[in-house]
Structure 1
């Protein structure tokens, strides 16, 4: 969650018992008390109770849409409801526009026990507006464009069954009519890899693309959970691998069916006795035992830890298929069929089935993410998606307490890869590809590698810094800022992550948004002034995301060890501002929302990063600021920056404004009346602040109708 995802004006919509209560003011979900909340704060719900809660939310959806300021062509579809121990509830919706699915249209509404709204999180702020729902391109044109733009598969093609579907793409500030296409070809997931490509329905320009199979891939040897107990079902004449205790989960033998149709030759596992497998690959049952055990332990972990009943929290088990394809060194979850697939490995790993405990838990956790935040599988949200599966795959390994596979923070260590693991959370960069620290380019890195930022955060939040031996393996919690601190423990860290995922994150959440979401979750569970919340902020700062909160024990920020708080100085190059061109991402700046971006939907004046303010077409406010700025004490100091204004307004009346403020005083105002074809340099005299330390702020305001976008880049004070 981040402030941009809270409503900019008064928002209210009570979903309890069909009532509507209006509350003035902007807020997020109410912070919890100092007493820890078990189970990430959620009540256990029966399938019937959950179903009725979702139906109630559905009945209230029209009223909710009106109160949120959504347009007449928009509809909300209730997806899930979570209820806290104190009766507060969190209702998650998907959104449609003119009957079309909206990618990036999901949102969460938070309500108190009496139905009063306390906050909201929207993947896309405000109402959806597009010029129309009639595309210039045909579906065939879109399919051709998708094949052309597909990067993750070779010999790309689209089929009539998985062709192009018209959608509204609302991941950026300006929603656009688009086509979502499914492209198949040869890729990381094998010869039948599938990729989603989203193209503009007017121009065919690519907007996004990502693999559909959220998978674990690698090379190595060995996967075997050893002798374990599994749940089976007795039938006439014998037993089947049907786990009635875990939602009727069934493990099938795919019998080497192709990935494109894993059910083609599938059959159930059955035998006359209730003894399964031999612990070796000579028995086809051995891999099925691994899968059955891993999925059951994952179910139990989510149930015991968070009162969650199955992937979708509806008590239903997802089918799993082992022995998929031939020579498939891969495992993946597919939300389209609500099922999981496991390959037999290849010659690269001695043809060992990819069914380790942490792999099975990783794949099932992808389903939990799909059922909650629905994190887009590209950019930083894709890295968070992968990190979530690594986090819970690791937690299930600890939970299972299997002597043959003790818990640790290594991913796929039982696969005997050449480096000893697929990924490691304490030091992600050790594999030579993963990111340990956030950078401005994190969103363009493969999601399996950008996940390292989230993995590293979680390890530090759980275990803190320093060298440790965990599960018989060496771990070393190094940081990106040379800080040292203790952790809050893995169970608390997991509770914070799960609550953030299920309650505050949306499909477009990035790492900055994940920080905000986890801080709110920690406040809910342990209190706003708790050490847990403070240490969560320390862990984020340690991976380069934001700064640490003030230490609740002293009320002042804790500096890095032996490093005094610096006085304001002029950075190299004569610019008193840090990161004035934003090429280091958010470094140096405080933003009220996801303002600093490298989105391809707009262009920077120089480089690839810029500040994108406003553009909602509804009541909204935004702020971008930098404090502790030393205005030069000699000459005639001035502020310069490049500004591009584009608007849907007409005329010279200032409906939407961008104000330049120093220490709270407005020095210049720009508006929709300053619309320009490109960037124009602006100059503000700072002589009145010569030699002073000041706070610089860009403050944006937009009215109810029509949008104005203010793009700012290359800001300097000198």
Structure 2
């Protein structure tokens, strides 16, 4: 039951209802018509493809391979390990963040972020803030209690101190990697609340770095008119459809009442303030989903509560919830839409990429700008006539009687810098938001957008820029945040990361990329070394196939097939044909040797009397602007009268715990001529494993028992063991798949738990073995992710 209740009406309590939708007023009764601010979102005007479960599985497998292949790029030492911490997506791009540990200790700044396409078939980028390979003594010389006291001293008032955690601090900006104690102190400085993360050198006791989860904003009450909010039956201002969203007072409890009618429309009323904040947060959640394919404020379906009634002329995000105060005259609460969007924008910034935040003013300015950007995006998405979309911050605020707090299209209107300079790293953080705010407006709207939107100046480069629209600009910026590493972010990094994001999101066009690049130049952020470039690749493409795709011949005989090509994109191109993988004594030729895409060629495969018997896969390649391939299966048997045999194994696979054993039967058979002696051997067994045969040789037609014994030191994993029979006239092999686990039994599978390859768990009474180390995200239960779990 979803009763829609107008202002002043009494809502009937439905005992069975878990969630209700209310129409409430957050302004005076005459300020807006009924249903103002309620609209239906249909499709994303920019367009995106949500990754499928198969695409997510492929992305995880691909990311693991990328990390293994790029050890030098990510400065991996032999003592480093990686575990998937989170997976998010923006538009058509998947982002997988891997935590790094060194000798079992977490590495701050060592996280690796891999981005792939939606299908999980192509790695787009691989990012890490760590620049040097770790070689750190992990023995602390400073005690945890001393580190805690050092961190405690950083705040004027302390409410709580976390248990110090030993980590390796690897941010390049602070010098060589060092052993550190991470301590989180909650309390307040002399001027504001604080949740301070401090990293204390575990050898010298000095402070390496620190960052504050509390991000302060400014603003006052703004009313959205009569709006629809989702509440929980009872009635409680808690949203069961958007996990974590709620609103209440300073005690942290969500507001509850006996009717589903909320607020009295007065600027000083806290329940009304909650309506404003709560509705705006729900709209921001919907915007992230509908426009960008992003799940919640952290990309993983999590929201955060809001509190109202803060006795300050301010609003802030503290790492766990948003908190809203009032204006200087104390006549309105600080809950206008763009202020709410701003504070939740800090949450988006904190949880994107490697998470956390930086302590520098430059990072702080980019963080404040992020809040302003999401405030502008929220206004555009909500399209509420009480607060039409614009690019000013807190335009309804009368904080000191001077109108908006910031102007994104021309920050200097309020005295903030329009463009980047060497002074930005020492500029107050709200003012330091100016250059990136200005950049965002230029990307979205350009210099002279028309339609009543203000013109925007440039500081460098061409004087006229054309925008790509606020949705595309927002999508690119949100995607760039997923590439953010731990520690301080700079404008140079923001430039590079937004260019990378534009290239990944719009691979078939340079329009968006060039707009992003031109806007950074316009606000005087120069090019950085090795920054991405955009070139439209030749879109001509073709396919290749062979028919028939297999044949069986006697040694010395020939076969042929037709190779067909077809244009799949663009125009026809010349395709040169070649082949690899043919057995010895065999020639492969094409007639003709090259074709125009859309034409065919005959492939001729000629064996010789010396071609060994066996099954072969010949790869046929077509090379044009791209290379496409297909395969042909060739079976070669001995000539009449030639002695030959086959081998097979039953069963062909087994699963054992480390230290366990298994066996199988290797069978041979005469396929031509007479029986011959066949010597048996094996290859590919994992370390600590022995493979023996009883007997070690047979006469073709006989069988042997294969004994496979692992040891306690055999690594967990899945291995392919090749069993080979060698005779006087031929050699043949077959494969046996061995899976080695970390032990018998297993615990019940849980979400948000770190699993290591070889771990055994049960899920709904069924046992599964972990195939690769990871953190179990919601929805990654074993039956759904065979890339991570193998049923036993």
**Shorter-chain TM band:** 0.5 to 0.7
Match of 2:168 in 1: 168
Structure 1 residues 292 and 454 mapped into 2: Cα distance closer, same or farther (>3 Å)? same
Match of 1:269 in 2: 255
Within the candidate set 99, 102, 126, 2:104 is matched to 99
Greater shift after overlay, 164-173 or 543-552? Answer: 543-552
Pairing of 1:235-634 with structure 2 (within 5 A): 235=234, 239-247=235-243, 249-254=245-250, 257=251, 263=252, 266=253, 268-281=254-267, 283-324=269-310, 327-335=311-319, 339-345=320-326, 348-373=328-353, 374=355, 376-379=357-360, 380-418=362-400, 419-432=402-415, 434-466=416-448, 475-481=454-460, 483-485=462-464, 486-503=466-483, 507-527=487-507, 530-546=510-526
Q: TM-score, normalised by structure 1?
A: 0.60
Please say if residues 39 and 495 of structure 1, whose CA atoms lie closer than 8 Å, have aligned partners that are also in contact.
Answer: no
Residues 370-427 of structure 1: CA distance to partner in whole angstroms, max 9, x if unpaired? 2322362322333322222211111101111111111111112222223312222112
Please say if residues 268 and 332 of structure 2, whose CA atoms lie closer than 8 Å, have aligned partners that are also in contact.
Answer: no
Residues 90-116 of structure 1: CA distance to partner in whole angstroms, max 9, x if unpaired? 322222333333222222123464655
CA distance in 2, matches of 1:531, 1:320: 39
Structure 1 residues 390 and 140 mapped into 2: Cα distance closer, same or farther (>3 Å)? same
Match of 1:614 in 2: none
Please say if residues 359 and 487 of structure 2, whose CA atoms lie closer than 8 Å, have aligned partners that are also in contact.
Answer: no
CA distance in 2, matches of 1:546, 1:114: 33
Please say if residues 216 and 332 of structure 1, whose CA atoms lie closer than 8 Å, have aligned partners that are also in contact.
Answer: yes
Structure 1 residues 426 and 322 mapped into 2: Cα distance closer, same or farther (>3 Å)? same
Q: CA deviation at 1:186?
A: 4.3
Please say if residues 58 and 121 of structure 2, whose CA atoms lie closer than 8 Å, have aligned partners that are also in contact.
Answer: no
CA distance in 1, matches of 2:56, 2:523: 40
CA distance in 1, matches of 2:398, 2:451: 19
Within the candidate set 125, 128, 135, 2:134 is matched to 128
Q: Structure 2: state its 5+ residue gaps.
A: 1-42, 537-792
Please say if residues 301 and 396 of structure 1, whose CA atoms lie closer than 8 Å, have aligned partners that are also in contact.
Answer: yes
Residues 66-104 of structure 1: CA distance to partner in whole angstroms, max 9, x if unpaired? 685522432323132246877x64322222333333222
Structure 1 residues 332 and 282 mapped into 2: Cα distance closer, same or farther (>3 Å)? closer
Match of 2:210 in 1: 209
Question: Which structure shows the higher strand fraction?
Answer: 2
RMSD over aligned Cα, in angstroms? 3.7
Q: CA deviation at 1:246?
A: 2.6
CA distance in 2, matches of 1:96, 1:552: 38
Partner of 2:376, secondary structure, is helix
CA distance in 2, matches of 1:508, 1:107: 16
CA distance in 1, matches of 2:425, 2:111: 20
Please say if residues 495 and 525 of structure 2, whose CA atoms lie closer than 8 Å, have aligned partners that are also in contact.
Answer: yes
Partner of 1:413, secondary structure, is coil
Query: Which is greater in Rg?
Result: 2
Please say if residues 386 and 451 of structure 1, whose CA atoms lie closer than 8 Å, have aligned partners that are also in contact.
Answer: yes
CA distance in 1, matches of 2:533, 2:500: 15
Greater shift after overlay, 139-148 or 168-177? Answer: 139-148
Q: CA deviation at 1:62?
A: 8.8
Structure 1 residues 550 and 50 mapped into 2: Cα distance closer, same or farther (>3 Å)? closer
CA distance in 2, matches of 1:114, 1:340: 34
Structure 1 residues 488 and 43 mapped into 2: Cα distance closer, same or farther (>3 Å)? closer
Partner of 1:415, secondary structure, is coil
Please say if residues 109 and 119 of structure 1, whose CA atoms lie closer than 8 Å, have aligned partners that are also in contact.
Answer: yes
CA distance in 2, matches of 1:126, 1:495: 32
Residues 485-532 of structure 1: CA distance to partner in whole angstroms, max 9, x if unpaired? 222222221122122222566655421121112122222333476233
CA distance in 1, matches of 2:535, 2:75: 38
Structure 1 residues 94 and 454 mapped into 2: Cα distance closer, same or farther (>3 Å)? farther
Q: CA deviation at 1:298?
A: 0.2
Q: CA deviation at 1:328?
A: 2.4
Please say if residues 90 and 478 of structure 2, whose CA atoms lie closer than 8 Å, have aligned partners that are also in contact.
Answer: no
Structure 1 residues 453 and 273 mapped into 2: Cα distance closer, same or farther (>3 Å)? same
CA distance in 2, matches of 1:349, 1:50: 54
CA distance in 2, matches of 1:288, 1:189: 25
Please say if residues 284 and 341 of structure 2, whose CA atoms lie closer than 8 Å, have aligned partners that are also in contact.
Answer: yes
Q: Structure with the greater relative contact order (CA < 8 A, sep ≥ 6): 1 or 2?
A: 1
Question: Which structure shows the higher helix fraction?
Answer: 1
Q: CA deviation at 1:189?
A: 6.3
Please say if residues 331 and 340 of structure 1, whose CA atoms lie closer than 8 Å, have aligned partners that are also in contact.
Answer: no
CA distance in 2, matches of 1:189, 1:356: 23
Pairing of 1:55-74 with structure 2 (within 5 A): 70-74=76-80
Structure 1 residues 85 and 544 mapped into 2: Cα distance closer, same or farther (>3 Å)? closer
CA distance in 2, matches of 1:453, 1:397: 21
Q: CA deviation at 1:182?
A: 3.4
Q: CA deviation at 1:273?
A: 2.6
Match of 1:234 in 2: 233
Within the candidate set 30, 41, 50, 1:44 is matched to 50
Q: CA deviation at 1:307?
A: 1.1
Greater shift after overlay, 520-529 or 507-516? Answer: 520-529
CA distance in 2, matches of 1:139, 1:45: 44
Please say if residues 199 and 208 of structure 2, whose CA atoms lie closer than 8 Å, have aligned partners that are also in contact.
Answer: yes
Q: Structure 1: state its 5+ residue gaps.
A: 1-36, 258-262, 554-718
Match of 2:5 in 1: none
Within the candidate set 179, 195, 212, 2:181 is matched to 179
Q: TM-score, normalised by structure 2?
A: 0.55
Partner of 1:198, secondary structure, is strand
Residues 310-369 of structure 1: CA distance to partner in whole angstroms, max 9, x if unpaired? 113333432222224xx123333333xxx42323326x2425322111122122222222
Structure 1 residues 524 and 201 mapped into 2: Cα distance closer, same or farther (>3 Å)? same
Please say if residues 298 and 348 of structure 2, whose CA atoms lie closer than 8 Å, have aligned partners that are also in contact.
Answer: yes
Match of 2:199 in 1: 198
Q: CA deviation at 1:53?
A: 8.1
CA distance in 2, matches of 1:349, 1:468: 36
Structure 1 residues 366 and 118 mapped into 2: Cα distance closer, same or farther (>3 Å)? same
Partner of 1:395, secondary structure, is helix
